[in-house]
Structure 1
Amino acid sequence: MPVDLGNLRSAASRSRHYSTATNSQSARALGYKTAFLCHSHQDRTAVLGLLQVFREQGLHLYVDWMDSEMPATTNGDTARKIKNRIVEADLFLFLATPNSLASRWCPWEIGYADGVKRYESIFVIPTHERGVTYGNEYVDIYRRIDEANEGGLAAWYPRRYNDGVTARSL
């Protein structure tokens, strides 16, 4: 079942501060899985909620936009660094929301990841809100992370619904 955007926004309020490593090297030194989280900056609250949900499941992730080495203003250097961060990250996560699907950057990022990452490391996180589901364009191609029937998040292969693995085991 796609992740409810309202639940993500609510999860963001459960933690006043999400601490993470400041760059990918320090994340690895702390033993974190690293993930490039492709998302729209307009979804900041939902992203903070997603990070909180992952943390509650014992999965601590490094996320690129918290990286102190990324430029403050988007430019050509940003694109080069994004490409490098996608390559070096353990996982690529695409948070599918109305904003990310309308973004100019997000489709470019998932397309780039498709060319450089192993299939097993690319995940779409479909979402839903007010009866509309976002991310259907990608869930038949890539693995997805969504809400498991027994609670929490799980990863699934396309068109499969009964043999997912907990997000913690990614």
Structure 2
Amino acid sequence: MSTFTEGRIRQRAQRKTGNFRNATTVLKEEVAATKVKTSFDIFLSHSTSDAEIILGVKGVLEDYGKSVYVDWLEDPQLDRSNVTAASAEVIRLRMRQCKSLVYVHTANSGGSKWMPWELGYFDGFNGAVAILPVTKSREASFKGQEYLGIYPYIDEAPSKGSTVEEIWVNKGSTASRRWANWINDPRAFR
């Protein structure tokens, strides 16, 4: 098992953007082409500085059949420069519509004021929280800084005897569960 690399994620994003399109534009076009959703498999907690990475992560997760909520795509009316109690309530409502929260850890994550709040709220509400580290190179395991280390992290790998990749949820390098097994009882795997 190893972490997702920036190269892998950016390569997945470029499958959609080609050489001439902006990642933010492609994401907005995708949302405009779909019907309004009221439930999702994943709430994607991320830094808005990572548009190309988010396009790639969203694509990878969708390749595994997951529906993904990205706040500035699904709810573009929210003004990130003027956060109000009403906009925070929209985010709370959306989190309650999701089965899990995936915290996309990048070099920009530490600068986000919202990501720790989303993580704490969702952990208290549901408990199905996992970190998706996007690293410069493949790492055998991910510890995360400070409080992120208490949460499992996700990666992709084939199961023993298979060549088909699937999503795994990991506690350090000692224990792993398939996504489908973890999502049924996430608090038991901490």
Instruction: Name the TM tier (shorter chain).
Output: 0.7 to 0.9
Q: How large is the RMSD of aligned CA atoms in angstroms? A: 3.1
Aligned positions, number:
162
Q: Does 1:136 align with 2:111?
A: no
* Map 1:59-138 → 2, pairs under 5 A: 59-68=66-75, 70-73=77-80, 74-76=82-84, 77-117=86-126, 119=127, 121-129=128-136, 136-137=144-145
Matches within 5 A, 1:1-20: 1-16=2-17, 17=26, 19-20=30-31
Structure 2 stretches of 5 or more lacking a match? 18-25, 184-190
The one-letter code of the counterpart of 2:98 is A
| Structure with max Cα Rg | 2
Take 1:108 and 1:46, find their aligned partners in 2: how far apart are those partners? Answer: 21
TM-score normalised by length of structure 2: 0.69
Identity of aligned residues (%): 25
Offset from partner CA, 1:59-115 (integer Å, 9 cap, x none): 333433321464144411222211221222111110011111221111121111121
Could you give the per-residue CA deviations for residues 105-137 of structure 1, whole angstroms, max 9, x where no partner exists? 1112111112111x3x21110121158997613
Distance 1:66 1:105 in 2: 16
Q: Distance in 2 between matches of 1:131 and 1:102?
A: 23
1:45 aligns to what?
A: 52
Question: What amino acid maps onto 2:78 in structure 1?
Answer: P
Contact 2:169–2:179 under 8 Å retained in 1: no
Given that 2:101 and 2:129 are in contact with CA atoms closer than 8 Å, whether structure 1 keeps it comes out as yes
What is the TM-score normalised by the length of structure 1?
0.76
Partner SS state of residue 171, structure 2 = coil
